[in-house]
Homo-oligomer: A and B are copies of this chain.
Amino acid sequence: MKNNHKIKKVVAVVGATGAVGVEILKILERRRFPMAKLILLASERSEGKTITFKKKKIKVRRLTEDSFKGVDIALFSAGSSVSERYAPIAVKSGAVVVDNTSAFRMDPSVPLVVPEINPEDLKWHRGIIANPNCSTIQMVLVLKPIHERFKIKRVIVSTYQSVSGAGQSAINALLNESMLKLSGTKVKKHVMHHPIAFNVIPQIDLFLSDGYTKEELKMMNETKKILHDDSFKLTATCVRVPVLRGHSEAVNIETEKQFTISEIKKELSKMKNLVIEDSPEERLYPMPIHAEGRFDTFVGRIRKDSTVPHGLNCWIVSDNLLKGAAFNAVQIAELL
């Protein structure tokens, strides 16, 4: 790639005013990402807004085909259709794209990367690197070390996903609907099609003909791609819960090889950015309110499932806007 010899990069953030974009900017600032210039791009609606970055005000520009001139790294998180259209344009302009949408994740010419797990896949990129789905990232951090040591036969996962996974409008919807419900006012229109305040919705993304949602399919397919194991068996039920930030997952794992719980914990403790939080006697286990704002992923409730010879249950929580999106994207950008 052009310009790769420069230490300081020109970075563009596409979707800079969205829920993930805002977090990307915070992380770039906090981690002192070496930048020659930061370009903020968004839709027409946000054009002209200013965002403060390192105490300087930066104007948000409207995304156009000419936005990527001189850009080294473009971080996309403005929805799949925006990525589909503009990521190839950015690549043509000489930028490397880290894409946070599902647009290119299953494209065989695009690496799908969790830096703790398959950083080697960055080597063969052709301009676009895909950031996996939030619910996949936090889960593979746990699956990978177990798979490597004990060979996983099958995974059954049920998710408890926060509204922030659906963007800022969904966050506002949960807050508004909660307020209205508490004041006894009927809510008429629902951003998430159904009421989300004080409710759970067993649908994330659209349905496919086999009865699974796209979100559930993403968890199955992306896990295979990240782990480089096409035969990996995983089935998922993805559910939206009235939580603002942080996805939780109840994960059941069956392995081929025998293990003890302390062996599992030992393997998990070696994984970077994964924290074991598992002291039931102190009521300590991962919860979204504790994971909020943290880069780490948390695992707890680790216990044997004796309905199969080598079964395991656990509970995984992470901030879906950070490790599930912005943090993972910046980690990839740092590796570039």
Contact = CB atoms under 8 A, between A and B. Distances in A.
Interface of A: 154-156, 158, 160, 174-175, 178-179, 182, 193-195, 198-203, 207, 210-212, 233-235, 237, 239, 241-244, 248, 250, 252, 261, 280-281, 283, 285-289, 300-308, 311, 313, 315
A301 B87 CA distance: 35
Given A193-B283, A195-B289, A283-B203, A303 B211 contact: yes
Contacts of A179: 182
Contacts of A302: 211
Contacts of A280: 203, 207, 211
Given A207-B281, A303-B211, A243 B158 contact: no
The 6 residue pairs across chains A and B that have the minimum distance between CB atoms: A211-B303, A158-B158, A233-B307, A158-B250, A207-B280, A237-B250
30 contacts: A154-B307, A156-B305, A158-B237, A160-B241, A175-B182, A178-B178, A178-B182, A194-B287, A194-B289, A195-B289, A198-B244, A198-B288, A199-B287, A202-B248, A202-B285, A203-B285, A207-B280, A207-B281, A210-B304, A211-B301, A212-B303, A233-B307, A234-B307, A235-B252, A235-B307, A237-B301, A237-B315, A239-B248, A241-B242, A250-B250
Chain A contact residues, majority secondary structure: mixed
Nearest to A243: B198
A204 B241 CA distance: 17
Contacts of A242: 198, 241-243
A231 to B, nearest CB: 10
Given A156-B156, A242-B242, A202 B300 contact: yes
A52 B193 CA distance: 39
Contacts of A305: 156, 235
Contacts of A313: 235, 237
Contact of A200 (B235, B237, B248): B248
Contacts of A212: 303
Nearest to A241: B241
